[in-house]
């Protein structure tokens, strides 16, 4: 379970602090969306940004969201000798979630927390890029049909600790028409056929049998049951029928009593 660890903005705080130690301070910040970028070079605002990130404190993980409108955040720090360091994050402002790179090629979603207000100020007027459409899905290296339907995997909500005894995790790789956090390792998805469990970032969720069968066959998952739902329609229909039958039976019994 080494990969299922608590990942937070505190990691970014350490990175920013290291950059600040070399460069004295962050030199620029850009928020990029559907119609371009807004750049901030105001030293006071940039110091507020570093300070806000450092104050994030304890780990605050966040559930991997389904594809949604997002912003790309770009940070640049310059050192006294003229060299620079840059990194990026992705921000879903509607949910207050940030995708951060914790190791080369490895990403995780965290809550923006108290940073959300400052990010709102720094990104004001920037229209988010639209929710990306999944254009390709590979399961264990093999292409799946109807890739857009696989957004359903992000909506599964039933947590589980039913891990496979013998690890049989199969990677699920996504591609989107344009670069997005869902085409990076921020959308980490792995599936265990032996347990019907989806490993999604830092959480494990149960995959309903009908959906699991289609994932294993790399078929479209459109129209399948999202969760192990109770057949409410049939149940409520049965209640309706009972509501009509019970009074009728009671009346029949009353007529027979005399």
Q: Quick one: the chain helix, strand, coil %, rounded to 5?
A: 30, 30, 40
Mean pLDDT over residues 128-155, rounded?
A: 95
pLDDT at position 156: 93
Sole residue written with tokens 């990194």:
87
Domains, the chain, in order of start with CATH, read 9-122 (2.60.40), 134-216 (no CATH)
Mean pLDDT over residues 178-189, rounded?
A: 81
| Higher-confidence position of 111 and 224 | 111
pLDDT at position 58: 53
Distance CA 68, CA 98 (A): 12
Distance CA 15, CA 88 (A): 12
Order of all β-strands in the sheet with 84-92? 36-40, 26-33, 71-78, 84-92, 97-103, 106-111
- For the chain, count helices (H), then strands (E): 5, 12
pLDDT at position 56: 57
Mean pLDDT over residues 221-237, rounded?
A: 52
pLDDT at position 195: 96
Distance CA 61, CA 50 (A): 20
Alpha-carbon dihedral sign for residues 215, 220, 226, 229: negative
DSSP assignment, residue 152? G
The two tokens of residue 95 are 């949910």
**Mean pLDDT rounded to a whole number for the chain:** 78
Mean pLDDT over residues 162-173, rounded?
A: 91
| Whether pTM exceeds 0.75 | no
Q: Kindly compute the dihedral angle of the four CA atoms of residues 24, 27, 33, 37, in this order, to the nearest 10 degrees.
A: 170
Q: Is the pLDDT of residue 242 over 50?
A: no
SS3 105: coil
Cβ–Cβ under 8 Å, residues 221 and 149 = yes
The HSE-up count of residue 180 (CA atoms within 13 Å, CB side) is: 24
Cβ–Cβ under 8 Å, residues 185 and 177 = no
Instruction: For the chain, report the end-to-end CA distance as a whole number of angstroms.
Output: 73
The two tokens of residue 159 are 């947590």
Mean pLDDT over residues 26-33, rounded?
A: 94
Other CB atoms within 10 A of residue 254 CB: 9
Q: Is the pLDDT of residue 123 over 90?
A: yes
Distance CA 69, CA 130 (A): 4
pLDDT at position 129: 97
Cβ–Cβ under 8 Å, residues 4 and 199 = yes
Distance CA 214, CA 230 (A): 20
pLDDT at position 82: 74
Cβ–Cβ under 8 Å, residues 100 and 127 = no
pLDDT at position 224: 63
* pLDDT tens profile 48-105: 888 777 765 554 678 888 999 999 999 998 877 777 888 899 999 999 999 888 777 7
- Chain centroid to Cα 231, Å, comes to 28
| Higher-confidence position of 177 and 239 | 177
């Amino acid at each position: 379970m080494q990969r299922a660890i608590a990942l937070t903005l505190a990691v970014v705080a350490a990175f920013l602090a290291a950059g600040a130690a070399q460069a004295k301070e962050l030199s620029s910040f850009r928020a990029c969306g559907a119609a371009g970028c807004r750049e901030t070079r105001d030293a006071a605002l940039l110091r507020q940004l570093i300070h806000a990130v450092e104050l994030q404190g304890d780990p605050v993980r966040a559930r991997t969201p389904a594809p949604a409108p997002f912003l790309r955040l770009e940070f640049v720090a310059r050192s006294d000798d003229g060299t620079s360091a840059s990194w990026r994050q992705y921000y879903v402002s509607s949910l207050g979630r940030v995708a951060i790179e914790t190791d080369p090629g490895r990403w995780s979603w965290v809550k923006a927390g108290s940073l959300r207000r400052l990010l709102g100020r720094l990104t004001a007027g920037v229209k988010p890029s639209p929710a990306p459409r999944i254009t390709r899905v590979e399961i264990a290296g093999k292409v799946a049909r109807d890739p857009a339907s696989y957004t359903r995997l992000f909506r599964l909500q039933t947590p589980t600790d039913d891990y496979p005894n013998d690890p049989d995790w199969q990677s699920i790789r996504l591609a989107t028409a344009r670069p997005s956090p869902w085409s990076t390792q921020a959308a980490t998805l792995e599936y265990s056929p032996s347990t019907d469990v989806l490993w999604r970032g830092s959480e494990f969720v149960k995959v309903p049998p009908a959906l699991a069968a289609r994932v294993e066959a790399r078929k479209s998952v459109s129209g399948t049951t999202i969760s192990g739902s109770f057949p409410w329609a049939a149940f409520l229909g049965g209640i309706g029928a009972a509501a009509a039958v019970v009074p009728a039976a009671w009346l029949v019994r009353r007529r027979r009593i005399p």
